[in-house]
Structure 1
Amino acid sequence: MTIIDDHGVRRGRKFDQVLDGARKVFLRDGFERASVDDIAREAGVSKATIYAYFPDKQLMFLEVARCECHRQTEEAEASIDGDVPVRAALTIAAERIVEFLLSEFGQRMFRIVVGEGERFPGLGREFYEYGPGLIHARLVHHLGCYVEGGALRIDDLELAADQFAQLCKATIHEKLIFGMAETITPDMADRIVHGAVDMFMARYAVGG
């Protein structure tokens, strides 16, 4: 049985198998050089099976990004499920964001989107909506819950969510752009996480 989801992706028995193959090939070859033949070979399925689930390569690439960001978001939200103090929740969120930025997946996807965005107009915008935009939306939701609970005072949730994400990129983003990821030590990542939380709390915590 094949099901078509809200993103126009058809899902069936071999969907996860196809997606895993696509993930490996995109990370290895980038977007333009990744071929349907290579993806079918990596996934151990026919090209007909690939096209049965994904009408085009761009949708397949975006689904890889969406699924990874969805997985990361679900794991983070599972850690803050229940009555978790705001500082603890923000620390978990910051750790996840930094972990994603430093991951092979996060670095490769960023380079692919930036490097090939000119040849494929709209890829960056759609990638944001499928991936980072999902994380942004969940941040807005959770920050709103803490505002309603009286722990935070925020007038512009959209801006605050973007500010928090940018604080988590401090130092890291520039080093990744210039290929210096190896210089980001665990101690540095920890300093960035706690610095982001401290600054955000100083600005938005009630009584902070």
Structure 2
Amino acid sequence: MAVAQAQIRRGRKYDQVIQGAQHVFLRDGFEGASVDEIARAAGVSKATLYSYFPDKRLLFMEVATVQCQQQAQESIDRLDMSLPPEKVLHLVAHQFLSFIYSDMGQRIFRICVAESDRFPKLGQEFYHSGPMVMRVVLVDYLRKSVDRGELKIDDFDLAADQFAELCKADLWPKLVFGIIDTVTEEQKARIIHGAIETFMARYGA
């Protein structure tokens, strides 16, 4: 069992705690969210809250993981495997960037880095809850697209990872290093368009 999961108790008030915590984290951010306020929003005592999550970072990552799982599932439900690559890649890129550019996505990244020594499993668990799920789906789509003669790919895992990295070009490092603090839809559209053009130039049949 992973370190983080070993410290999380799931009982009848687990969902209640997660919902209350999500509301407070999204409203106040990680640093601004107090345990008192989270307990109040969840309708539980601080003792109950701590019995489920002994560390605020564990609670935040659990909230983030649950949200990421939901977003990944919504993306999968919307994905039409019969569509041409340009359309599917646009949907995948839009969903991916909407999350990593979001306030929650930025906070998750920073906490995973900051807590990598203390809780080395946090980032791994989060990655497997959503990003890995979407990667598997993208690889599956790329295989189907190759079978239809739309793409020419030998290394499907590498191609999927390359597309994700193309989507992070320019704006992602600027957000991480604090050069910018927001991303407009026009900026996001520019990155998505460039990523798809570059990917298709390399792998288009």
TM over 0.5: yes
CA distance in 2, matches of 1:17, 1:170: 38
Question: What corresponds to 2:160 in structure 1?
Answer: 161
| AA matched with 1:19 | I
CA RMSD of aligned residues (A): 3.0
The count of residues paired between Structure 1 and Structure 2 equals 197
Q: Percent identity?
A: 49
The TM-score, its normalising length taken from structure 2, stands at: 0.78
- Which structure carries more relative contact order (alpha carbon 8 Å, separation 6+)? 2
When residues 183 and 20 of structure 1 are mapped into structure 2, their CA distance, relative to the original with a 3 A threshold, is closer
1:139–1:161 CA contact under 8 A, matched in 2? yes
1:65–1:131 CA contact under 8 A, matched in 2? no
For residue 150 of structure 2, give the secondary structure of its aligned residue in structure 1.
coil
CA distance in 1, matches of 2:9, 2:140: 28
Question: What corresponds to 1:109 in structure 2?
Answer: 108
1:98–1:189 CA contact under 8 A, matched in 2? yes
| Range that drifts further, 90-99 or 139-148 | 139-148
CA distance in 1, matches of 2:196, 2:23: 34
1:11 to partner: Cα distance: 6.1
Question: What corresponds to 1:144 in structure 2?
Answer: 143
When residues 22 and 192 of structure 1 are mapped into structure 2, their CA distance, relative to the original with a 3 A threshold, is same
Question: What corresponds to 1:29 in structure 2?
Answer: 30
When residues 116 and 59 of structure 1 are mapped into structure 2, their CA distance, relative to the original with a 3 A threshold, is closer
Is residue 122 of structure 2 the alignment partner of residue 123 of structure 1?
yes
| Range that drifts further, 104-113 or 57-66 | 57-66
CA distance in 2, matches of 1:84, 1:63: 34
Question: What corresponds to 1:96 in structure 2?
Answer: 95
**Can you list the C-alpha shifts for 1:78-131, whole angstroms capped at 9, x where unaligned?**
332352222101011111111112211111111221223233333223332233
The TM-score, its normalising length taken from structure 1, stands at: 0.77
CA distance in 2, matches of 1:187, 1:180: 18
1:34 to partner: Cα distance: 7.1
Question: What corresponds to 1:198 in structure 2?
Answer: 197
**Can you list the C-alpha shifts for 1:166-192, whole angstroms capped at 9, x where unaligned?**
111001211111223446332221110
CA distance in 2, matches of 1:13, 1:201: 49
CA distance in 2, matches of 1:117, 1:65: 16
1:48 to partner: Cα distance: 6.6
When residues 188 and 55 of structure 1 are mapped into structure 2, their CA distance, relative to the original with a 3 A threshold, is closer
**Can you list the C-alpha shifts for 1:29-78, whole angstroms capped at 9, x where unaligned?**
35xx97766543331124575577x4765664443233222222223233
**Can you list the C-alpha shifts for 1:138-172, whole angstroms capped at 9, x where unaligned?**
22222223223332222212111111111110012
Question: What corresponds to 1:84 in structure 2?
Answer: 83
